[in-house]
Chain A
Amino acid sequence: MKDFVLFENVCKYYRMGELEIPAALNVNFKIAKGEFCIIVGPSGAGKTTILNMLGGMDSCDSGIIQLDNNKISGLNERQLTDYRRYDVGFVFQFYNLMQNLTALENVELASEICTNPQDPKEVLKQVGLGERMLNFPAQLSGGEQQRVSIARALAKNPKILLCDEPTGALDYNTGKNILKLLQDSCRNTGKTVIVVTHNLALTQMADRVIHVKNGTVIKIEENTNPIPVERIEW
């Protein structure tokens, strides 16, 4: 299972009137099942575009994207919605929680639409929010809200967990805790986790690091000895 995630010559352009701006140019990489992978690069490099294409939030203009031997490139909108529903868990920088739903309801929203969900209450306990299930997002701290959104992503039992700058809005220690939670989910449950960040220091914690610049992959590193996030300082 070397090619759990596969990108082959993937290109994506954004059109602004007459102008065509390339957001991804011939992107090639592979990620194995169960890996903790970090996509790193300066802002505007195309990290989020790559993540969104893999998560079925965006379509590519050419090339092949595969997850678990299923082709994602070329799916239509309806198929992409199904794909997001069953196969992908998303974690965003600004949490994207429903403000009018409790933490538990936010997780249920995701778990109730897929076939093989985990118990929402159990997942919330796993992420350390057993006591705060009935609170609304506004009553939770940033770190706690991010935990809810991780729980929401995990509850669906997705094939892959995609995190877009998950610590971008959090302070140093809270961010570390969130990354530890993600790393633990990867190690303990064998879930493939992909994290997008601009923080180069974090690359030490990943099994695989994909460096992106100007829409292309410039370097792929494999880490045989990833460091637990607790021991990384930045």
Chain B
Amino acid sequence: MNIIYFVAQQTMFFAIPLLIVALGGMFSERSGIINIALEGIMVIGAFAGIAFINVTQNSMSGQVLLLLAVLVAGISGGIFSLFHAFASIKLKADQTISGTALNMFAPAFAIFVARMVQGVQQVQFTDTFHISKVPFLGDIPVIGPILFQNSYITTYVGLLIALLSWLIINHTKFGLRLRSCGEHPQAADSVGINVYKIRYAGVFISGILGGIGGLAFVVPTSTNFNATVAGYGFLALAVLIFGQWRTKRIFFSAFFFGIMKTFASAYSGIPVLKDLPISNEIYKMIPYIATLIVLTFSSKNSQAPRAEGIPYDKGSR
């Protein structure tokens, strides 16, 4: 039983950032803007969040500090994403190129600023955020150890974001308009929906969530930020595609990838796997092989938003 709890807890550390970032991608892509800049946005969000912790950790600590850092990461990710929004909505640039530009810019920016300020590119932080057990809730059998022990508050932030995303996309006027802009912007425009405004909002939300996801990835898995999120932004894109741009499926695919990643990095903590005569490298390959296989099968009947990636031009109405 303990092994199952261990795997579940480890999975959270990997699945939650993927979930948050993939949901962010969903907001952007369902409004019609491809966002492959998620990786760069995560880097910027993580950088700003960790830098904030680094600067303020002498005067604050614990959950308040982490929540404030989440806020900082979200805002900076949101602002960073506006570059992508401006290029692809206002200037009608190629969205893949604009996203790539952001991906290349972000780590360079993080390294440059870190070196200018403190001489080295790693931004250190002290992990005062680990929750060994949530009072009361952690004592619930089964659910307690899985959800409320050895966790971080970002886990609950992530689950809350998933619930809110589902509500917003499927059950609000804004969600309806967002979906219509990704599907048929001409028709949306003709009934009086401001396509540009909705798309800006979609990309901005994806920036906020991408930034938060970047921080949620770094905090549980490291003690410094080294200008990278290890390709998680791209993995989140795979989650988004495997999740068919739908909240519920993204939720499950994020956890699928989270478990794969857990096997890869924490297999030595699982006796059954450790005893198998398989080398370290094979385990490390699991998430990427799983990505390949899963996408091969699931991308065939893709339900991508129809107008995704096409700049909206009023003239072609």
Chain A residues close to B by CB (< 8 Å): 52, 55, 57, 78, 81-86, 88, 90, 92, 96-101, 105, 108-110, 112-114, 152, 156
Contact = CB atoms under 8 A, between A and B. Distances in A.
A52 B314 CA distance: 12
A100 B183 contact: yes
A18 to B, nearest CB: 18
Contacts of B180: 98, 101, 109
Nearest to B191: A110
Given A84-B192, A99-B306, A113-B191, A57 B183 contact: no
Interface in B149-183: 173, 176-177, 179-180, 183
B65 interface: no
A108 B191 CA distance: 11
B193 A101 contact: no
A55 to B, nearest CB: 8
B170 to A, nearest CB: 10
Nearest to A153: B191
Contacts of B189: 57, 81, 84
A113 B190 contact: no
A109 B190 contact: no
29 contacts: A52-B317, A78-B194, A81-B192, A81-B193, A82-B192, A83-B192, A84-B189, A84-B190, A84-B191, A84-B192, A85-B192, A88-B192, A90-B191, A96-B186, A99-B184, A100-B179, A100-B303, A100-B305, A100-B306, A101-B179, A101-B180, A101-B183, A108-B176, A109-B191, A109-B193, A113-B173, A113-B192, A152-B191, A156-B191
B294 interface: no
A86 B192 contact: yes
B173 A112 contact: yes
A178 to B, nearest CB: 18
B87 interface: no
A109 B177 contact: yes
Contacts of A92: 187, 190
Contact of A57 (B193, B305, B317): B317
B188 interface: yes
A27 B187 CA distance: 27
A96 B190 contact: yes
Nearest to A108: B176
Contacts of B183: 98-101
Nearest to B303: A100
A98 B192 contact: no
B190 to A, nearest CB: 5
B176 A109 contact: yes
A85, A110, A114: most-surrounded residue (chain B CB, <10 A): A110
Contacts of A81: 189, 192-194
Nearest to A162: B190
A152 B187 CA distance: 11
A88 to B, nearest CB: 8
A97, A100, A105: most-surrounded residue (chain B CB, <10 A): A100
A81 B198 CA distance: 13
B96 to A, nearest CB: 23
Contacts of B173: 112-113
B184, B189, B191: most-surrounded residue (chain A CB, <10 A): B191
